[in-house]
């Protein structure tokens, strides 16, 4: 562990703000937890605007929380905490809960001379993680003896290898979070209620009964996409893959939240198989729906054009509209091609019910760009726009605007139609087999 040479004789909030103020503001406006606290305490001006027009107000409120993370009477650790926060090393919610617990233990160890120099100087620690690692090396002499397991939990699974449960109150969250760095297990400013929103957004605790190392535990919160180990670090896709390999029952145990939030690393093989086998049918149905509603899709494109103040002559619109069906057929063919949209969707189980991700897949498909540009409808639209611009009836269209308008009339209406219809089909099919139940 490396140290920096910082010696603080006396804490002064104004000096701390003068030193780190702008960096603190830059981090704070992107800290979701702090933003929510600020908006509740000081409603009105958006925090980003407040950071520019009333920075002293934002910093005053921020420093109040930072100082809450310092358990000492004279706030001797607050400047070092502010520096760490300004470097983006920790979210404020963890400073206000986990860090204050660690500092309380550290301060007692230091005053009893249980921790020796230079480890006994918090201001020398380069990172919060370094600090946590050192404090964890020392036993907490005042820690309470383990109590009988709290019963206010929803136990989802238990066998000789694994326990999976939902803590239903803060006491249960603290009990099962013993030995972790989770802010939902903190003694000070515990964040259980903040995350669970009156138990409507549950925490899932996974406890291996034959841990790979001491105190191995995991806590999942799907709404915020946090899948943390006992050190409050994201385990990432690789860590999740390894966990599922050890405990293959996890996808089934956590099926409802996994499928609700389409968390791909935990999707079951059965789910993936259903998606893959249904894809040819989904492709066929989509083609049929596009053909059935072709006129409506085309009309939507021209409506979008009108909203931009462009009114093409009726004969041009008719010419383009008459060619739209061929354009749609060209796109459907491109989507069904090898390595096309449907092939990618079939091999990407977990996004088939997400409208935004489907739209992104369609929008990034180069073959569909080419279809719009080379189709008869696309060429007719380009000609009509150039003629419209050259007549000078309105503000002349910049050449770069034409591809954008082409997207508005041709690609966007088709993509929006598909992104609405495709998730409905997959959801219905999955629900037939007991999946994707909300």
DSSP 327-378: HHHHHHHHHHSTTSHHHHHHTSTTSTT-HHHHHHHHHT-HHHHHHHHHSHHH
Report DSSP letters for 111-180, one per residue: HTT-S-TTTT-GGGBS-HHHHHHHHTTS--TTPPPPPPPP--EEEEEE-SSEEEEEE-SHHHHHHHTTTS
Name the band, by pLDDT with cuts 50, 70 and 90, for residue 121: very high
Please indicate, yes or no, if residue 407 is contained in any of the structural domains: yes
Whether 337 and 421 map to the same domain: the answer is yes
Model pLDDT for residues 168-223, shown as the tens digit of each residue: 999 999 999 999 999 999 999 999 999 999 889 999 999 999 999 999 999 999 99
Average pLDDT over residues 155-159: 96
Supply the range of the domain harboring residue 327: 269-432
Average pLDDT over residues 315-323: 87
Name the band, by pLDDT with cuts 50, 70 and 90, for residue 367: very high
Average pLDDT over residues 94-116: 94
Please indicate, yes or no, if residue 2 is contained in any of the structural domains: no
Whether 215 and 235 map to the same domain: the answer is yes
What is the rounded CA–CA span in Å between residue 114 and residue 201? 41
Residue 289 CB partners (closer than 8 Å, separation 6+): 417, 421
Domain final position from 79, 101, 135: 135
**What pLDDT is attached to residue 257?**
97
Whether 297 and 233 map to the same domain: the answer is no
**Among the listed ranges 45-54, 304-313, 373-382, which one has the minimum average pLDDT value?**
304-313
Whether 231 and 286 map to the same domain: the answer is no
Name the band, by pLDDT with cuts 50, 70 and 90, for residue 44: confident
For the chain, what percentages of helix, strand and coil (3-state, to nearest 5) are there?
A: 60, 5, 35
Whether 207 and 117 map to the same domain: the answer is no
Name the band, by pLDDT with cuts 50, 70 and 90, for residue 255: very high
What is the rounded CA–CA span in Å between residue 95 and residue 91? 7
**What pLDDT is attached to residue 4?**
40
Please indicate, yes or no, if residue 318 is contained in any of the structural domains: yes
Q: pTM of the predicted model, to two decimals? A: 0.81
Please give the mean pLDDT across all residues of the chain: 90
Whether 261 and 278 map to the same domain: the answer is no
Angle value at C-alpha 236, between 273 and 277, nearest 5 degrees: 10
Please indicate, yes or no, if residue 6 is contained in any of the structural domains: no
Model pLDDT for residues 285-296, shown as the tens digit of each residue: 999 999 999 999
Angle value at C-alpha 270, between 421 and 155, nearest 5 degrees: 105
**What pLDDT is attached to residue 345?**
96
State yes or no: pLDDT of 26 exceeds 60. yes
**What pLDDT is attached to residue 3?**
39
Q: How many distinct structural domains can be found in the chain?
A: 3
**What pLDDT is attached to residue 128?**
92
**What pLDDT is attached to residue 8?**
44
What percentage of residues in the chain have a pLDDT greater than 70?
92
Whether 321 and 397 map to the same domain: the answer is yes
Name the band, by pLDDT with cuts 50, 70 and 90, for residue 393: very low
**What pLDDT is attached to residue 1?**
38
């Amino acid at each position: 562990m490396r140290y920096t040479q910082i010696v603080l004789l006396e804490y002064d909030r104004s000096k701390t703000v003068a030193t780190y103020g702008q960096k603190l503001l830059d981090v704070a406006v992107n800290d979701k937890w702090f933003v929510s606290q600020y908006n509740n305490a000081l409603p009105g001006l958006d925090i980003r605007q407040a950071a520019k027009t009333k920075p002293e107000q934002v910093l005053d409120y921020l420093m109040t929380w930072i100082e809450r993370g310092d358990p000492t009477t004279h706030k001797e650790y607050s400047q070092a905490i502010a520096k760490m926060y300004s470097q983006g090393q920790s979210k404020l919610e963890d400073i206000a809960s986990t860090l204050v617990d660690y500092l309380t233990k550290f301060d007692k160890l230091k005053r009893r001379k249980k921790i020796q120099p230079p480890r006994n100087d918090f201001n020398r620690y380069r990172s919060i993680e370094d600090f946590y690692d050192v404090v964890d090396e020392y036993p907490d002499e005042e820690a309470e003896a383990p109590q009988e397991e709290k019963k206010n939990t929803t136990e989802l699974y238990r066998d000789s290898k694994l326990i999976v449960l939902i803590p239903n109150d803060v006491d249960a969250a603290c009990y099962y979070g013993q030995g972790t760095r989770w802010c939902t297990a903190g003694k000070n400013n515990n964040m259980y209620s903040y995350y669970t929103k009156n138990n409507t957004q549950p925490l899932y605790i996974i406890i291996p009964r034959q841990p790979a190392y001491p105190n191995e535990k995991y806590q999942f919160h799907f709404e915020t996409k946090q899948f943390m180990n006992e050190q409050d670090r994201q385990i990432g896709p690789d860590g999740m893959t390894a966990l599922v390999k050890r405990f293959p029952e996890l996808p089934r145990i956590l099926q409802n939240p996994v499928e609700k939030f389409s968390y791909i690393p935990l999707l079951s093989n059965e789910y993936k198989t259903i998606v893959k086998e249904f894809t040819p049918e989904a492709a066929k149905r989509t083609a049929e729906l596009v053909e059935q509603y072709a006129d409506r899709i085309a009309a939507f494109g021209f409506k979008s054009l009108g909203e931009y103040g462009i009114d093409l002559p009726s004969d041009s619109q008719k010419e383009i509209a008459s060619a739209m069906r061929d354009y749609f057929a060209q796109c459907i063919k491109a989507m069904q091609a090898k390595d096309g949209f449907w092939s990618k969707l079939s091999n990407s189980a977990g996004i088939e019910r997400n409208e935004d991700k489907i739209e992104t897949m369609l929008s990034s498909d180069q073959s569909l760009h080419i279809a719009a540009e080379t189709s008869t409808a696309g060429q007719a639209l380009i000609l009509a726009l150039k003629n419209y611009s050259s007549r000078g009836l309105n503000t002349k269209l910049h050449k770069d605007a034409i591809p954008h308008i082409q997207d508005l009339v041709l690609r966007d209406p088709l993509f929006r139609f598909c992104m609405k219809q495709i998730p409905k089909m997959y959801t219905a099919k999955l629900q037939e087999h007991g999946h994707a139940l909300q």
